[in-house]
Amino acid sequence: MLIHDDYMKFKQFGWDRGLTAYTIYPPNNICVNSKCTNGRILKKAKSRRIVVYTLDKGVQPAWAVTLYCPDCNSTYHNNFVVQDKYRTYYHGLPHYIEVGEHRYIEDRLAKMWINHMLVAWVSATNLGKLYEMSLAQHDYLNDTDWQFITWLSTAQVWDSFVIYSLLDDKRQAHEQLQVPHDGIQADCFKNAMKERNEHIVLYGQPDVVNHACDKCVRIYEKDGELCECQAIIGDGVSIGRPCCGVFACTKNLENNRHRFCGDHYDKHSECAIKRCDAPISAPTSKTCADQEHKKIEQKYIEKGTSIFLFKECSQKWQDNKNHAEESSADPNDVDLCDDLEWYEVNQQGNIYVEAQQNRGTVGVDDDSMEPEKCPEKPAAGNWVFKAQFGRRRTSDEQFLIRPCGVIYACATMYGTEAVSNVLCFTQNTFSVPGARKPTHIFYDSNCLAHQQAESNPWFQDIGMYVDLLDEDGKWYFNSSAAEQHNAWFGQYLPICRDMLPEKYDFFLDEMCRLQNVETLKVNDKRGYNVRTIQD
């Protein structure tokens, strides 16, 4: 174990000679490819200068060594082996995570960042800043030239989160992670994140599909027989990510700054005024040649660049002032404001921007039609226009929560929180392998949900109430567990509101998984008889 004086001696006498306290090697010095017949020790080695971000020793200059097998053309790195343009990670979690060809992050540091995201909602941007201010020890690197800039970037913090989380997931499944080796670092893991997201949809959140405890499953006696009551709570959180501008379209955007998906991409060249499909007048415009439409666009631009918008956004995010968005915002995107807007034009040609507060997560009959955003009775003689200049966002994240606080499932609502979609989500969630249907569902719009569920045999033996009371008039279950969850989950809005779908779902699923781990630990310590139920 090196002490502080040892590191200073490396700096004083070793760095200019290429000697460092850290050298990172592959875990094996022979080829482990099962199809390779080479049984000799690999001697073709290559070294490159790197920097290692550590938890208690700051930023350290280091060397990374790779080994090459000439028989099967495999290159062995510290984290993975590269063959046929794919990298296959080794089993388990590495001590140092490679987030770039010349950047490694210590596993303890990556885990600390993830915990800060979980319990304190700290963004990757601010985690990078905190590291630079408190732990990097850049003065230790003064008067040295180690070839690379050692400042930590937001992208590297995010890469450590993604790679660590994916490797941890594969470790628990006793599998290996495989991703493309070529291309942009962030894109290499897009398909892996997508596969993880799809796995959770098909098989449920890990460790909670067949969960039970004394806070979410109650045993009672009725007519001399023991009966079981198992409850679930449905609720939504208005966060929203960029999505296609066509109402309720579930296709992903190809780029975070696009307004429409690939299937509806041609609509970028149509006028942004609703019910006008005329072509835009110029590549830099979002409206047609109609002068009234162009005036509305100008009003939109003025609002987007005005001090009014600054004050409005400052007020909106005052409770989240310690967070930072993870991507730069387009100053012409007024979709930072989630209120419903329309434009009124009076007889003199003056244009006024009107708005009403978004209803948020309120169950409605269906989302087959876009809800009307304009007032029913505008001022006499005025014309009312709706427009979509910025990006549409998904409606909300719908959750199923156990009364004990366990997050059972999550789904994205695109158009509105349609009760029919909530019922479909609930049925699909409790149809995964190992799941057991609840006996009761708590949901704010249960009257409407019950009407729609009557025609579905799957819901016939499920009670739907706003709440349940026992014989003494006390709450049988903690139906406020969803509200407590929403207060926690809603804090992630500034962090993930501009993420693309794969990363958005992956990040929030991982936060829910880690939150469940902590919830299960707490409930077990409290003696709630945490267990799994096997049919």
**Confidence tier at 409 by pLDDT (50, 70, 90):** very high
d(CA 242, CA 259): 8
Which range of 91-105, 219-233, 243-257 scores highest in mean pLDDT? It is 91-105
Which range of 192-196, 354-358, 443-447, 459-463 scores highest in mean pLDDT? It is 192-196
pLDDT digits (tens, 9 = 90+) for 38-65: 989 999 999 999 999 999 999 999 999 9
Which segments of 444-523 are extended strands (E)?
463-465
pLDDT digits (tens, 9 = 90+) for 89-136: 999 999 999 998 899 999 999 999 999 999 999 999 999 999 999 999
What is the tally of helices (H) and strands (E) in the chain? 13, 22
d(CA 312, CA 509): 31
pTM for this predicted structure: 0.87
DSSP for residue 30: B
- The helix or strand, by DSSP H or E, that contains position 243, with its residue range, turns out to be strand 242-243
How much is the mean pLDDT over the chain?
A: 85
User: Average pLDDT in the 22-34 region?
Assistant: 93
Residue 316 CB contacts under 8 Å (≥ 6 apart), including other chains: 336, 337
- Residues forming beta bridges with residue 242, ordered by sequence position: 393
Fold of 203-240+394-526: Nucleotidyltransferase; domain 5 (3.30.420)
Please check the confidence at residue 311 and state whether its pLDDT lies above 60.
no
Residues of each domain in the chain carrying CATH 3.30.420: 203-240+394-526
User: Average pLDDT in the 357-380 region?
Assistant: 56
Between the CA of residue 440 and those of 229, 242, 450, what are the distances in Å? 7, 34, 12
Q: What is the pairing mode between strands 383-385 and 340-345?
A: antiparallel
Please check the confidence at residue 415 and state whether its pLDDT lies above 90.
no
Predicted pLDDT at 335: 47
DSSP for residue 135: T
Please check the confidence at residue 74 and state whether its pLDDT lies above 60.
yes
Q: Is 356 left (phi over 0), alpha (psi -120 to 50) or beta?
A: beta
DSSP for residue 12: I
Between the CA of residue 216 and those of 408, 450, 493, 520, what are the distances in Å? 12, 22, 28, 12
Q: Which range has the worst mean pLDDT, 62-76, 112-126, 378-392?
A: 378-392
**Confidence tier at 144 by pLDDT (50, 70, 90):** low
Between the CA of residue 475 and those of 317, 456, 478, what are the distances in Å? 35, 29, 7
